């Protein structure tokens, strides 16, 4: 029974590893005087956390004063959720009140001659935004309960994602219906205009030929 119990635990842990896909930080080059934006699709009421910093080009030395960036995080509706100017590192966190694409735009202060700045950016949302290491420390839970909590939150996240995708599909269907209806009315209007123009041309030619006494 112990062997079966241990095998079940290992199978469960393997499943958790496949379901739990932690976010990874990215690095990108940003030229001074230029702007680069990164988009993230976030569900409504989801927690999102971001960390950013300038990578030091010279390890062991202080970061040059010219290496500074400005960052703004906005929603698809133009609402501002984070803003920081002339910084070398920082972070943000908020609960998204609206679903859609959120934009994190980085701007490097202008410099002559221009140079490239390497920025490291880690942006996580949903279950990936939770700091599970702190949860384990604060709750003083054992490893198995810790993994089970991660699994429970992952399942909840998948369940919410399914409802979110279903809602988006319903919205797209409604949009398709409205678009098809408008296209049908536009087709009828175009046909009516074409027939009206053709009728006016026939009437004009008939009137012209009658005046010339050709018919």
Between residues 7 and 168, the one the model is more confident about = 168
Report CA-CA distances (Å) from 15 to 3, 94, 128, 143, 155.
18, 30, 16, 15, 12
Residue 9 has pLDDT above 80, yes or no: no
pLDDT tens by residue, 106-115:
999 888 888 8
Q: What is the pLDDT of residue 201?
A: 87
pLDDT tens by residue, 95-108:
888 888 899 999 99
Q: What is the pLDDT of residue 4?
A: 43
Judge if pTM exceeds 0.75: no
Q: What CA–CA distance (Å, rounded) separates 39 from 115? A: 24
Q: What is the pLDDT of residue 146?
A: 64
Please, what's the b/e burial string for 4-39 (b: 16 or more CB within 10 A of its CB; e: otherwise)?
eeeeeeeeeeeeeeeebeebeeeeeebebeeebebe
Average pLDDT score over residue span 51-69: 85
pLDDT band at 80 (very low <50, low <70, confident <90, very high): very high
Q: What CA–CA distance (Å, rounded) separates 1 from 116? A: 61
């Amino acid at each position: 029974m112990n062997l079966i119990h241990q095998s079940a635990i290992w199978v469960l842990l393997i499943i958790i590893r496949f379901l739990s896909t932690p976010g990874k930080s990215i690095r990108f080059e940003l030229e001074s005087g230029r702007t680069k934006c990164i988009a993230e699709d976030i569900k409504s009421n989801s927690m999102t956390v971001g960390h950013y910093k300038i990578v030091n080009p010279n390890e062991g030395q202080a970061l040059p004063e010219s290496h500074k960036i400005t960052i703004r995080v906005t929603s698809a509706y133009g609402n501002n959720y984070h803003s920081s100017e002339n910084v070398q590192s920082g972070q943000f966190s908020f609960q998204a009140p609206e679903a859609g694409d959120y934009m994190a735009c980085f701007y490097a202060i202008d410099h002559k001659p221009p140079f490239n700045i390497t920025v490291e950016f880690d942006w996580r949302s949903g279950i990936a935004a939770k700091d599970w290491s702190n949860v384990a420390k604060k709750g003083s839970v054992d490893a198995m309960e810790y993994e089970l909590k991660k699994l429970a939150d992952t399942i909840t996240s998948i369940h919410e994602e399914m409802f979110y995708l279903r809602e988006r599909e319903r919205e797209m269907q409604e949009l398709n219906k409205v678009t098809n209806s408008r296209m049908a009315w536009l087709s009828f209007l175009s046909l009516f205009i074409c027939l009206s123009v053709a009728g006016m041309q026939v009437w004009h030619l008939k009137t012209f030929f009658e005046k010339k006494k050709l018919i």
